[in-house]
Amino acid sequence: MNTWWGKAEFAVDECQRWSIGDRFIAVQRKQKEWKFWNIETKEETSDVLVRESLTISQLSSIQPSQRLLMRDTPSHLEVFPRLADRSMVIRPGTAITVLPDEEINLYVSTQLWVSFSIKDAQAPLYEIPLWAPSDSWFGVSNMVGELCYAKYSEANIELTDLKKRQHRVFTSIQIINEHNEPLVIQRIKIPMPLLNLYVDNDGQFWTDSICLTHNEDDNKPSFKILKMDVDDHKYTILSRARETGGNNVFISSLKSLIA
């Protein structure tokens, strides 16, 4: 497995970059500062994400996007993929209808962030999406709701239809319609800050699965997080959820997750 994450050792003045095609994030260690460069591209690519050394002369014409100063820089950074810092709204190209007493599984992929941290620090030095999603408002009105990220997705029912890319993470969404009426879905909100991030033995990134239930009884819980089983050695946890809610998180209103 090509692992671009983990401990990254730096000599003083050394520069390294994490790149996918023409899109890259570069880091240089100085004696008393870290410098970060963020070179973006509009189009996502299926290229392999690689970590490599480069000379500072290759960045001489580009201003760093961040300079972080300290008394003395440590010799390494902890570099890891992370999930989005907001919920992600999935918008299928065509509305989905789940018939009464039916149960389906959907598979979607969303963008990853990259985090650069000093060991044992409470917050990362630098964190950025590999490809930034657009902003989206999700709520019952302009006053009541949540600022999220948005992504158009086909919401595949077959996992094999999802294209594997190293800057994206897969989420399995189980939808159960226990109501006597069809459930029409135009948008689904995935609460990314509540989910853990994993990698499987093939190098594919996964979140915890989520289960959404449309109940006859509005007082019954509608949402549950299904943790991955790391004991079977198929999955390794890489990043813990940004927000904690216990092993099982419930949300009572389906309207807060589906529109």
Residue 120 is assigned to a structural domain of this protein: no
| 55 and 182 co-located in one domain | no
| 63 and 157 co-located in one domain | no
Residue 123 is assigned to a structural domain of this protein: no
| 29 and 60 co-located in one domain | yes
| 103 and 169 co-located in one domain | yes
Statement: the pTM of the whole predicted model exceeds 0.85: yes
| 11 and 139 co-located in one domain | no
Task: Return per-residue pLDDT of the chain as tens, 259 residues.
Answer: 668 999 999 999 999 999 999 999 999 999 999 999 999 998 888 899 999 999 989 888 899 999 999 999 999 999 999 999 999 998 888 888 999 999 999 999 999 999 999 988 888 999 999 998 998 888 777 887 888 999 877 788 999 998 888 899 999 999 999 988 898 888 899 999 999 999 999 999 999 999 999 887 765 658 889 998 888 779 999 999 998 764 444 444 555 566 5
| Angstrom distances, CA of residue 219 to CA of 124, 215, 255 | 39, 9, 13
Structural domain of 93: 84-111+131-256
CB atoms within 10 A of CB 151: 19
| 163 and 244 co-located in one domain | yes
The number of domains in the chain is: 2
Residue 192 three-state SS: helix
| 147 and 216 co-located in one domain | yes
| 69 and 90 co-located in one domain | no
